[in-house]
Structure 1
Amino acid sequence: MALALDATLADVTPKHPATYYPPLIKRLNECASGHGSAYVRIGTDGSGTAPYYLISADEEGKQIFGAFDYGHPFTPSSDGTHWSTKPMGIHEVVALAVPYITSTA
């Protein structure tokens, strides 16, 4: 079952969040370092257990940084119909990821 067109990471739970979020945050930081900001949209075709993500330097998604599958780059479709209409900023993603990536040692 496909996700809602405006789904974000706050709406889904990656199957392995402890390994899903670190490469995403790394890519968001790379984008923000080079462009000043970073936003992510998730792919809406799947179930949300390991959504692909599209990172852009602008909230509108016009300045594409890259598309990734667990941190591995790939070429996204050019029509844009497979991506959420709602972006999340880097700070929102980090806040969502903290419980999964914070060490309990």
Structure 2
Amino acid sequence: MFVLSMGKPITDVWLSETSSTLIQQFYPSEQGGHALADVRSGDYHPSGKLFVSFPRYVGDLPIYYDYLDSSHDSGTKYDNRHLYLATMWKSLMSPHQESTEVA
């Protein structure tokens, strides 16, 4: 039995291959020890749908901090290095408002 106490799921194939039971506690707070003891002793049987998915391999979910491959258009980059999205900043200003430069 492996008990994981962390904030996100991990992908370690050797854990699932060498253990009959994996328990993900996330951040259990003050009553986490009592809850774990109830599960281990059989007094409580957790059931229901998990709110996260646990990938078997890292490549199953290629989502990480610098993963940018997307079917959505991220905007158009022009020569002046400004990125224009759905609306331009000028359209957000009222017609009577003057633009000011901040030094």
Band the TM-score falls in, shorter-chain normalisation: under 0.3
Greater relative contact order, per chain length (Cα 8 Å cut-off, separation 6+)? 1
Higher share in strand:
1
Higher Rg: 2
* TM-score (ref. length: structure 2): 0.28
Higher share in helix:
1
* TM-score (ref. length: structure 1): 0.27
